[in-house]
Structure 1
Amino acid sequence: MKSNNPVFARTEEFNRASTNAYGNQTYPGGSSVQGSSDPSTWGTGTPTDERSGGRMTIDSVVQATGISLAVVMVTAAITWWFIGDVAAGNGFVNEDNYQRAIALMTIGSLGAFGLSMVNSFKRVVSPPLVLLFAAVEGVALGALSKFFESYAGAGVVTGAVVGTFAAFAGTLAAYKIFNIQVGQKFRIFVVAAMFGMVGLGLLSFVLSMFGVTTGLFGFGTLGLVMAVVGLVLGIFMLILDFDYVENGIAAGLPERESWRAAFGLTVSLVWIYTNLLRILAIFSQD
């Protein structure tokens, strides 16, 4: 089984599958699966493996993801505090704090994008690099959240946080209850759409440096459409993440691959949060 998700496709153990005499796929560690297993059967123990020192389990994925998200939230909170108040009251803006927010948002976004590419295409996952990505992403999110708060009010940030975790819980429930199967065409579509959105974002950023505004990521109708499309795409990305975790556990991947899953889940949740933030900001306009 070979994943088309660039975050997971570099995993040698996951892609090194063979077929046994019964036509089922076999994986490192001697396990075999036919189709996708029920998420309710995912392992929660900590079996050992002589080659890797442990296997990937749902517990190890939850722990790694929790640490990654905690780093994002801590650095976001520090960045939020460091920027200070952007809105000066009576419709005025504190120009120094506003420029500080824009600078940190730009630096953090570019740094997070670079580290996400490194983590996505790195053959052997590196937990320190995943955590570094989470820290830099937190800087970008803290500045972005401060920017949106000054534009649309504090309620949009809280609403986006609550909505993100609701989207995660709802997608996981749907994945389990409806036993969603991830096919090859779906993987290709989601990955292509993700890179398409990233490409459009980079193009809009470059054009904005020359005074050209596309409106794709603005607060108008086109921006709303793109934000809704981005939100739906984020949900699809979560489904790919759940599929990787399910099949990775069944494949007996080394425990370190939990960090690759944590990276994928962090990227998806950040993606959902930023699009929800924009949607709420657009609807909060007078």
Structure 2
Amino acid sequence: MKTSNPAFREKTWSSAGTEVGGATMTLNGTAIKAGVLGTLLVASAAYPWHMFFTSNASTSALMPFVLIGGIGGFIVALITIFNQKAAPITAPLYAILEGLALGGISAIYEYQYPGVAIQGIALSFAVLGAFLLAYSTKLVRPSQNFLQGVAMATMGIAIYYLVAMGLSIFGIHAPMMWDSGWLSVGFSLFVVAIAALNLFIDFNFIEANVENGAPKYMEWYGAFGLMLTMVWLYLEVLRLMSKLRSR
């Protein structure tokens, strides 16, 4: 099955193989690991958030957290994707680093648009809960065509973002990225929807590999992949809400 989440590529999962005569991956185990990673991320994010709102620091004081956490998290994510056996160590480290970045980013958004961070968190977890309920009760089961469609849409978004970043180096602002026009809001709604739909793909991939008897360490890897999607979803929700608030 195709998936747009780099952590859940077929090649990645197939390389883990099937555990014979040893502990294997379970849904409950993966859920527990996801809870651990989420707790680490929130605890880490609380530090730059608390530092900013309990001092007279400017938003520029948050940039070291955003840069160190973002770049460090990206590097650790790559290590995890290419060395799944390291996930029990690298996944928690990723959560901590990404927490620093998200804490800084959230504080900046909150400073500009009071209340937006809490609303973004609530909406992101509401989406996660609704999609998990729909999947676990078998109300929704993604088909192969669905998976391919979401993967292609995600790839298109990634390419657009890369082009926009390249243009920004030359002082050119790509349309629909940060402006608050209705076309831009519509684009953000589309991106949020695609990010959310990736959750169905992630659930499906985890379930399939539990059934195939993937090794126990893949619980950490599965939880890591889910966190990648949730981080993306939260950031896109923040972007959408900031556009709506600035109108």
In the alignment, what sits opposite 1:7?
Answer: 7
Go from structure 1 to structure 2 and tell me whether the alpha carbon gap of 1:229 and 1:117 turns closer, same or farther (over 3 Å shift): farther
> How high is the TM-score relative to the length of structure 2?
0.86
In the alignment, what sits opposite 1:22?
Answer: none
The residue correspondences of 1:210-221 to structure 2 (distance < 5 A) are: 210-221=170-181
Go from structure 1 to structure 2 and tell me whether the alpha carbon gap of 1:107 and 1:188 turns closer, same or farther (over 3 Å shift): farther
Go from structure 1 to structure 2 and tell me whether the alpha carbon gap of 1:60 and 1:240 turns closer, same or farther (over 3 Å shift): same
Go from structure 1 to structure 2 and tell me whether the alpha carbon gap of 1:161 and 1:196 turns closer, same or farther (over 3 Å shift): same
CA–CA separation in structure 2 for the residues paired with 1:249 and 1:128: 21
Conserved? CA contact 2:109–2:242, under 8 Å: yes
CA–CA separation in structure 2 for the residues paired with 1:109 and 1:186: 31
Q: CA RMSD in A?
A: 2.5
The residue correspondences of 1:178-257 to structure 2 (distance < 5 A) are: 178-221=138-181, 222-257=183-218
In the alignment, what sits opposite 1:64?
Answer: 33
The CA deviation at 1:229 is 1.6
In the alignment, what sits opposite 1:34?
Answer: none
Give 1:69's aligned amino acid. Answer: G
Higher relative contact order (CA 8 A, sep 6+): 2
> How high is the TM-score relative to the length of structure 1?
0.75
CA–CA separation in structure 1 for the residues paired with 2:98 and 2:54: 21
Farther-moved stretch of structure 1 (62-71 vs 106-115): 106-115
The residue correspondences of 1:78-117 to structure 2 (distance < 5 A) are: 78-84=47-53, 97-117=58-78
Give 2:110's aligned amino acid. Answer: E
Aligned with 2:178: secondary structure?
coil
Count of matched residue pairs: 243
CA–CA separation in structure 2 for the residues paired with 1:205 and 1:259: 31
Gap regions ≥5 residues in structure 2: none
CA–CA separation in structure 1 for the residues paired with 2:166 and 2:66: 15
Conserved? CA contact 1:157–1:277, under 8 Å: yes
Conserved? CA contact 2:180–2:246, under 8 Å: no
The CA deviation at 1:65 is 0.4
Identical counterparts, % of pairs: 24
In the alignment, what sits opposite 1:271?
Answer: 232
State whether structure 2 residue 148 is matched by structure 1 residue 169: no
Conserved? CA contact 1:56–1:257, under 8 Å: yes
CA–CA separation in structure 2 for the residues paired with 1:104 and 1:174: 36
In the alignment, what sits opposite 2:46?
Answer: 77
Q: Which one has a larger percent helix, Structure 1 or Structure 2?
A: 2
Conserved? CA contact 2:2–2:151, under 8 Å: no
Deviations 1:205-254 (A, max 9, x none): 34333322224321412442232122111111100111012212211111
Give 2:7's aligned amino acid. Answer: V
Conserved? CA contact 2:180–2:244, under 8 Å: no
In the alignment, what sits opposite 1:38?
Answer: none
CA–CA separation in structure 2 for the residues paired with 1:196 and 1:121: 23
CA–CA separation in structure 2 for the residues paired with 1:285 and 1:11: 42
Give 2:51's aligned amino acid. Answer: F
The CA deviation at 1:60 is 0.6
The CA deviation at 1:3 is 4.9
Give 1:156's aligned amino acid. Answer: V
Deviations 1:178-219 (A, max 9, x none): 443333333333233323323333333343333222243214
Q: 2:96 aligns with which of 117, 130, 135?
A: 135
